[in-house]
Amino acid sequence: MRAGPSQEEVRRHNLGTLLRYVHVHGATSRAELTNRLGLNRSTIGALTADLTTAGLVSEAAPRETGRAGRPSLVVRPESSRVYAYALSIEVDRLRAARVGLGGRILDRRETDRPRGMQVLDAVQPLAEFVRELRAGVPDDDTRHVGTGVAVAGMVRRADGMVRLAPTIGWVEEPVGAALRAELGDVGRLTLGNHADVSALVEHSRGAAAGCDNVIYLFGDVGVGAGIIADGRRVAGHGGYGGEVGHMVVNPYGRECSCGSRGCWETEIGEYALLKHAGRGDRSGREAVLGVVDAAMRGDSQAQFAVRQVGEWLGFGVGNLVNIFNPEAVIFGGTLRDIYLVAAAQIRSRLNAIALPACREHIRLRTPELGNDAALIGAAELAFEHLLEDPLLT
């Protein structure tokens, strides 16, 4: 419980609200800001002036509107001047980008990550990427606000300790500290879970924009989720919520990398699909796409594999729908490809398990931002401090 804010706190809150609006929605006229934010025109003018002085937004006359009268100035985020570094450590890829305010990817690098790679072996190529990105920053007046990192694992936000990342083979690895040591002056460094940050981006500007209750699923070797309830991330006490891949769905199922048995990811992860398809010796996204393609071409064993995984996918989503009553479920990573060929079956299984009231307004979706969601989401971790209080340097 907290008492109401002072006048100065209100002003700073409003500055953050305005900056966040153009960060998420892009160029917006003063008239629309007045409307959306419920503030009067002179307040919007004063806030915009402050943010312009701080170099965070710019204003310009709009293109010819064809309407009479003085047109409303358009406020846009300074995407090319204000930026964050974004890193993403995934099962098969290492990615890095320079992301401008407004979520615009200005420059990017990526490379394969061999499975089994050790933590320090991932830190060095990422640091090299950041050095390359930095070399490409124009000399003129730019501002770096920090660095965000998305990790395919459970991350302690306070210090960037990766508690468990079974799919990339790390347990209790100080990834944050290793990156800080290697990168040196990259400003404030914030780590987050890959599915969590992707979910927030699909929620703010992607497939679930406008939905307040969202389950974003991401599959590869394992399965993770970023869950949004009433507009906010379900983080849990230590920030480790959303480990739906370790919801046990089949008590009589296979052993999981976590030590338990019959976890959801043992039934819908990459390995289950490839094994059902008789391709248990392969791995990786290309191999998964190979099975999906074969199923579409009529290969009966590949179709069997897709059906098996689709069945368990709908089953687990049904459970989550009963627990969360979401508006949208988004299928990302390899689950996207499986959803695209097994949508009817997934929906049917989901309908059999989920209560009518819990599923009545649900929409099943694929991501709009694809792999970029993790990079843009990692950058959001860095932008968040700026958006909380834009004038704090």
Which span sits near a copy of itself by CB under 8 A: 65-73, 123-131, 227-235, 375-383? 227-235
The verdict on 70 binding a copy of itself (CB under 8 A) reads: no
The verdict on 224 binding a copy of itself (CB under 8 A) reads: no
The verdict on 38 binding a copy of itself (CB under 8 A) reads: yes
Q: Phi, psi at residue 216, to the nearest 5°?
A: -105, 120
Helices (H), 59-106: none
- Report the site for a copy of itself in 86-105 (rule: CB under 8 A): none
Strand runs (DSSP E) across the chain, as ranges? 28-29, 57-60, 74-77, 82-89, 93-100, 104-112, 143-151, 154-156, 161-165, 170-173, 189-193, 214-219, 223-229, 232-233, 328-333, 363-365
Q: Which of 213, 266, 303, 308 binds a copy of itself (CB under 8 A)?
A: 213
3-class SS letters over 21-69: HHHHHCCEEHHHHHHHHCCCHHHHHHHHHHHHHCCCEEEECCCCCCCCC
The verdict on 238 binding a copy of itself (CB under 8 A) reads: yes
The verdict on 28 binding a copy of itself (CB under 8 A) reads: no
Which span sits near a copy of itself by CB under 8 A: 88-96, 111-119, 209-217, 375-383? 209-217
Find the shortest distance in angstroms from Cβ 11 to a copy of itself.
Answer: 7
Find the shortest distance in angstroms from Cβ 389 to a copy of itself.
Answer: 13
Distance CA 187, CA 84 (A): 9
Which span sits near a copy of itself by CB under 8 A: 143-151, 292-300, 349-357, 369-377? 349-357
The verdict on 240 binding a copy of itself (CB under 8 A) reads: yes
The verdict on 274 binding a copy of itself (CB under 8 A) reads: no
Q: Which of 164, 217, 375, 381 binds a copy of itself (CB under 8 A)?
A: 164
Which span sits near a copy of itself by CB under 8 A: 16-24, 109-117, 181-189, 365-373? 16-24
Residue type at 117 in one-letter notation? M
Distance CA 336, CA 298 (A): 19
Nearest residue (CB) to a copy of itself, 126 versus 155? 155
When computed from its CA atoms, the radius of gyration of the chain, rounded to whole angstroms, is 22
* Bridge partners of residue 328, in order along the sequence: 214, 363
Residue 314 CB partners (closer than 8 Å, separation 6+): 345, 346, 347, 348, 349, 350, 352, 353
Give me the residues that bind a copy of itself (CB under 8 A), please: 1-5, 7, 9-11, 13-14, 17, 20-21, 36-39, 43, 154, 156, 163-164, 211-213, 227, 229-230, 232, 234-244, 246-252, 258-260, 315, 318-320, 322-327, 352-358, 360-361
